[in-house]
Structure 1
Amino acid sequence: MEYALVVLSAGTAGYVLGWGHSYWAMASAAVPLAAADLPGRIGRGLHRIIGTLAGLIVTAAVLVGTPPPGFLAIVVIVLIIPTEALMSRHYAAALVFFTPMILIMTQLAAPVPRSQLIVDRAAETALGAVIGMLVVCAISGTEALLRRATARTRE
């Protein structure tokens, strides 16, 4: 139920705002739910934002000028290694490599202005992660209230 709520909320917000990649917001909204407790969930959401922003700096550096597709393909292959090595150890660090990898692949498949790609990814990721963190905080607060109310009725 939590996943449906965060994904639907983020997708709707991205759509209402008229942004072109609501699915990026939806994916980012689900990220905080991967952790077991509230501090972990908030940390996971912050990792998503910080790691993505750092990865966008790398993306901008790689896409300076008009690099040839062959070069970009090699960059993608190289970025797979640290992404895989870090994903289970440190999520934010993995995103520094994952973000440029996925955006370069996107750019190779369907080129758009680089600045649009980078701004869209930053905005949609932040939107989704913030919505995910807000929903998990609301759910956590509601669960705490229910526990207190249940404990009072038992007294």
Structure 2
Amino acid sequence: MNRWRRVCCVPLLVIALGVSGCGVTVPSDPQGTLDRVRGGVLHAGASASGELVTVDGSQVGGSLAGLVEGFAESVDAKVEWTVGSEEDLVDDLETGDLDVAIGGMTDATPWSARVAVTRAYDTIPGARGPVVLLVPLGENAWQAAIEGYLDQEVAP
């Protein structure tokens, strides 16, 4: 009788566990970043880095800034820029004051212990190697949306 229970119950348990996850949207944003930004304001941080990110007073430009502006447009959002050091921007990502940070960060960034890092892109104009953007930890739908946009715009 025990063998019969195992033969019948194990597949039923697997099916039950599979069905229980059907209503979950993956990836998700625990803090709701993508939903909040869509149709609203994208809070972006910038650290000057050659042609990638230029800063002139409160004006932010460069190839990475253009990509952030293009992504914001794709989700019907307006960009509000904060200029600062990488450390300041990482602090602001952790506290939720920023949604994304750009600069000369690479896939070897030491900030990956504190914030999430996008895939590396080496075809961005002005990049001397693989460049990443920084986003808040755990905001997976947000990160996936940014990476999807970058994949279309700069992936080879």
Structure 2-normalised TM-score?
A: 0.27
- Structure with bigger RCO (C-alpha 8 Å, 6+ apart): 1
Larger Rg: 2
Q: Greater strand percent: which structure?
A: 2
Structure 1-normalised TM-score?
A: 0.27
